[in-house]
Amino acid sequence: MARYLIQVSYTSESWATQVANPTNRLEAVANMLAPAGIKFVDSYYAFGEFDMVVIADGPDNVSTAAGVIAVAAGGAVSKLQTTPLLTPEEGLAAITKAGSIGYSPAVS
């Protein structure tokens, strides 16, 4: 399982629909994505640049991307951003491995 941070902003039309008929969209979307193997670990309504923030587990990048694309294609969101997350151990392994790559920046 891979973990992802998913940030979503609604369209004004979507907000209007929800104001007219309030429902827990976080729960509804979680249920829709579950058959694809995507599980919401934690989710929040938010304010600011994004209206919802979700921490999700997905079986792999392709399956998770498919779920995110399906949500984006529905037309209810104006912005959707997905960030793959690394555990502290994975981050340290990546940092350690970076030391063996041998990259050197161009010098001006």
Q: Can you give the pLDDT at residue 104?
A: 86
State yes or no: pLDDT of 108 exceeds 90: no
Q: Report residue 107's pLDDT band, with 50, 70 and 90 as the boundaries.
A: confident
- Residue from 20, 28, 82 nearest 57 by CA: 82
Q: Give the pLDDT mean for 82-93.
A: 96
The whole model's pTM is what? 0.87
Give mean pLDDT, residues 35-52.
95
In CATH, the architecture of 2-86 is 2-Layer Sandwich (3.30)
Q: β-pairing, 2-10 with 77-85?
A: antiparallel
**Mean pLDDT in the chain?**
94
DSSP state of 36: G
Question: What is each CA distance from 9 to 17, 22, 59, 78, 94, in whole angstroms?
Answer: 14, 17, 24, 6, 31
Span 27-35, average pLDDT: 94
